[in-house]
Amino acid sequence: DRYGHDVGDRVLQQVARVVQDTLRRQDEIVRWGGEEFLVCLPLTPMADALVVAEKLRAAMQRLSDPEPLTVSIGVAEVGALEHLTQAVTRADQALLSAKSGGRNQVCLAG
């Protein structure tokens, strides 16, 4: 809002390039709402998902037009007997923990 729609569009384009450069072909990203995105990494162990999340966070931080961009990321793994919506809820709770813990970090869902 502070910089206007043109700058916002440019930042979204930069974010899209970072995501495209970081994720694999089988990974999916969708806009979850507002400034939140959901990334699905199929058949990816939690340790590897955390590495991807940290790569995304670090790459986003290197964007600096018009100012450094920071992201907070919540990571959750879908359990064997768990519905996807439950895992998304846990990831969202981890995201809130990342935000309340100072932002610009990756938090693992409990």
Rounded to whole angstroms, the Cα distance separating 94 from 57 reads 15
List phi, psi (to 5°) of 106: -110, 130
Q: Which is catalytic among the residues 35, 36, 67, 82? A: 35
Give the number of other CB atoms < 10 A from CB of residue 40. 16
N residues, the chain: 110
Q: Is 28 a catalytic residue?
A: no
Q: Which residues are catalytic?
A: 35
